[in-house]
Each structure stands twice: as structure tokens, then as C-alpha cells.
Structure 1
Amino acid sequence: MTFVVTDNCIRCKYMDCVEVCPVDCFYEGENMLVIHPDECIDCGVCEPECPAEAIFPDTVPGLDNWLKLNAEYASAWPNISIKRDPPEDAKEFDGEKGKLEKYFSPNPGQGD
């Protein structure tokens, strides 16, 4: 089992989760984070730390596409283990539906 970052992280990109992860399995895209499924140890400490409530265990039904997206981009984006400030407009996008189609960027973030 692993945890999965989903839609609500896009354009919010709060980084509270990365500083509590004991195995540094978060990877940073331009406007969201993902979890590497092969590195996640299923400890669950990241889930309650996410202000956007965008992290779920992969046992939640309907997350197959998100698991694939996390795995794909964790292999391409840089690792992130240090919390930085979220985008200034993060609260404006928190809770918006359909963010994958509207805003997702495949571009990497800056990482550590």
C-alpha cells in the first residue's frame, strides 16, 4: 500500500507533508507534489498534515489514475524534503473541482 496525492494539490502545493515524511518520498512538479509509490512506507503521517486534504491511501476506491500519475511523475520530477511556502494564491484554488484538466503541469519543480 502507498499514499497518493490527488487533484486538490494542484495549484495549492502546500508542503506540510514533505517535512514530516520519514523517507522523503515526495517529488515536486511545477504546481503539485506526488508520492513515489515504491518509496512510500505507508506510515500515514503525511495525510493529516495536508491542509488541502489531497492525500489518500491507495485503498480508497477510484484512485487508480492518481496512483499512475504519482508513479509516472515521481520518476521524472525532483525530490523535495524541505517545506517551502505555498503559492500566494493557493487558498483561491483549494477545493476547486476539475483541476487536473484545467491546471496540471507536467513540468518539474525546483526540488531541494
Structure 2
Amino acid sequence: MTYVITDACVDVNDRNCLTQCPVDCIYEGDRMLYIHPDECIDCGACEPLCPVNAIFYEDDLHGDGRAYLTVAAEFFAQTGLAGGASDTSPAGQDHPLVAALPAAATE
């Protein structure tokens, strides 16, 4: 099992979850963050820090959020990112589903 970041994270600049992850498994795409499903240890340290409630335990996903299990897996297969987020630069790309989402409204 793993934690998953959903579309509520798109275009959100808060990165507090990155600093609290004890295993460094949260990576930066261009528009959102992704949790590496093979590196996540299910500790939940990231979940309460998300200001937009975009992080869910896999079993708690429902509706459209379930698609983000596949989004995360495909993102890491596409980018090849692994082995610790702090040792990598932001990917500069997103999963095609995320890249196609409209820009978040700014206030």
C-alpha cells in the first residue's frame, strides 16, 4: 500500500510534505508532486501537512482519485525517477493526464 497525491495538488506551491517525508519519496513534477509507490513506507507523515487535502492512503481513494494510483506509477515509469527525491531535480514534466488539466485559477 502507499499514499497517493491527487489532482488537488496541481499548481499548488506548498512543499511542506517534501520536508516531512522520512524516506524522501515525494518527487516534483512540473505542476504537482508525486509519491513513489515503491518507496513510500505508509507512515502518513505527509498527509496532515497538505494544505489542500490532496494526499490519501491508497485504500481511502474513491471516485476520480483512484486514477492517481495509475498516474503515479506511470509518472515514475516515464521519468525513471527513483532513489530519493532530494538527489534529483524536479522532473520538468508531468503525467499526461496532469499536464492536460486546466491551469488552476489564481486569486
Q: CA deviation at 1:101?
A: 2.7
5+ long unaligned stretches in structure 2:
88-98
The residue type paired with residue 64 of structure 1 is R
Identity %: 45
The reply to whether residue 74 of structure 1 matches residue 76 of structure 2 is yes
Matched residue, 1:36? 36
Q: Give the whole-Å Cα distance in 1 for the aligned partners of 2:86 and 2:51.
A: 17
Q: Is the Cα–Cα contact under 8 Å of residues 27 and 35 in structure 1 kept in the other structure?
A: yes
5+ long unaligned stretches in structure 1:
83-98, 105-112
Query: How many residues are aligned here?
Result: 88
Matched residue, 2:48? 48
| Runs of 4+ with >2 A deviation | 61-64, 77-82
Q: Is the Cα–Cα contact under 8 Å of residues 8 and 52 in structure 1 kept in the other structure?
A: yes
Q: Give the whole-Å Cα distance in 1 for the aligned partners of 2:76 and 2:13.
A: 15
Give the TM-score, by structure 2 length.
0.70
Matched residue, 2:27? 27
RMSD across aligned C-alpha pairs, in angstroms? 2.4
71-80 vs 3-12, greater mean Cα deviation? 71-80
Q: CA deviation at 1:102?
A: 1.5
Q: CA deviation at 1:100?
A: 6.1
